[in-house]
A and B are shown apart, each in its own frame.
Chain A
């Protein structure tokens, strides 16, 4: 299988398709190069809020308990029992709930007010007020089951106390007006609410261990972070592309064997009477 295959075949295949390979690699290299430079530039521009900013963290807690036939299933299957809050979490984080919250917010506040008083003001996608849409509401609140308990928490984080409270209250009304009517296997009861005025750093420290990703803080740009960013955004993709090209070259060289050296011709007992040392296009001498 490998009688007619060697390193020379790979080099000659690379040389044969050098223009094609250059074109295939140059565009991704440029693309990932720009992407890396942009990421470095953004890290200097601090697209995320500074950790010293203060926010209102509003927490609403709820307890879920099975009802009806679900009580018997819960006794038989602990996994089913612990998964009951997930239905509520999914519906609170759904597009329907976000749309409900979005419309309620717009009844009380303007888009500009919402953007300026929430973490949305650092969002790159919102270059002007009209860019605000339902999908951005996901950055204002988040619902999650607390560990493996029957509790679920809804956190809302903004720079304005009233705005945070309104978001939490709107989620609360959505739960009782819509979700409770749909879910028949359990009922949900409010446990209580808390309101905290924290720095962004403190809020992040509180939410991150619980798995919430509402808050991202800009980190100071150090050489190590820049190098790490460059490696992740640029160098690794480029290496992968070059490796892919080499693999394709290997396949071509392996599956399409051609004669690459004098010894390949010697096999046929016809003497090689001369080698023309021409590299490239043949021209008259």
Chain B
């Protein structure tokens, strides 16, 4: 007996969606296993926009799973004005003071299931490391063919030297 159409055939977008869901599930498992409330997502790469879009996609999947999560996009731009935008469930900060960030996290930690912070590359921005210290754990987001061994090793070394926990790495092509 030959079974026709007895396979999972997903198109490109569906595969992409499933991969984001997989990542979201992994983050939820990390959160539940270790009781983390604040997870930062950083990188050794210097990609701003594409990293933020990836983090946002992961965040959307976390919301779809019923999590009361908050996404903070903590940008650092030298010689630029600071910005605080707290509308909706995605907050945009620019050049926010570390103490202010700390206060916001303390304030929202009890109210939310999870706070996800999009942190700039630690090797490039000094304050990024300070933001990382405010998190329970850090997840690295790296890209195949672009992430260099040297930069990745230095990022891990920086985090380890500051006793910052690294839960895992998300990769994309």
Question: Which residues of A does B touch, CB under 8 Å?
Answer: 4, 12-13, 15-16, 256-262, 264-265, 268, 270-279, 281-285
Contact = CB atoms under 8 A, between A and B. Distances in A.
Contacts of B148: 256-259
Main secondary structure of the interface of A (DSSP, over half): loop
Interface of B: 12-13, 15-20, 22-23, 26-27, 30, 50, 53-54, 56-57, 60, 139-140, 142, 144-149, 152-153, 156, 166-173
Given A282-B50, A285-B16, A275 B172 contact: yes
A270 B20 CA distance: 19
Contacts of A275: 19, 22, 170-172
Nearest to B54: A282
A273 B145 contact: no
B37 to A, nearest CB: 18
A285 B12 CA distance: 11
Given A259-B147, A277-B16, A282-B53, A271 B23 contact: no
Given A270-B156, A274-B22, A283 B172 contact: no
B13 A285 contact: yes
B9 to A, nearest CB: 15
26 contacts: A12-B144, A12-B145, A16-B145, A257-B149, A258-B144, A258-B145, A259-B147, A259-B152, A262-B171, A265-B142, A270-B169, A271-B169, A272-B170, A272-B171, A273-B30, A273-B167, A273-B168, A273-B169, A273-B170, A274-B171, A275-B170, A276-B23, A277-B15, A278-B16, A285-B20, A285-B57
Contacts of A273: 23, 26-27, 30, 139, 167-170
Contacts of B57: 282, 284-285
A268 B144 CA distance: 15
A207 B30 CA distance: 88
B67 to A, nearest CB: 16
A67 to B, nearest CB: 76
Given A281-B50, A284-B57, A285-B20, A260 B139 contact: no
A275 B58 CA distance: 12
B145 A13 contact: yes
A180 to B, nearest CB: 74
A224 to B, nearest CB: 46
Contacts of B26: 273-274
Given A12-B145, A272-B170, A282-B54, 6 more contacts: A258-B146, A268-B152, A273-B168, A282-B57, A282-B172, A285-B17
A278 B30 CA distance: 23
B46 to A, nearest CB: 14
A274 B140 CA distance: 11
Contacts of A281: 50
A256 B22 CA distance: 31
A259 B142 contact: yes
A16 B152 CA distance: 19
Given A270-B140, A273-B26, A278-B16, A258 B149 contact: yes
Contacts of B60: 285
A279 B20 contact: no
A272 B167 CA distance: 9
Contacts of A265: 142, 152, 169, 171
Nearest to B49: A282
A259 B144 contact: yes
B56 A284 contact: yes
A4 B168 contact: no
Given A271-B169, A273-B168, A274-B170, A258 B20 contact: no
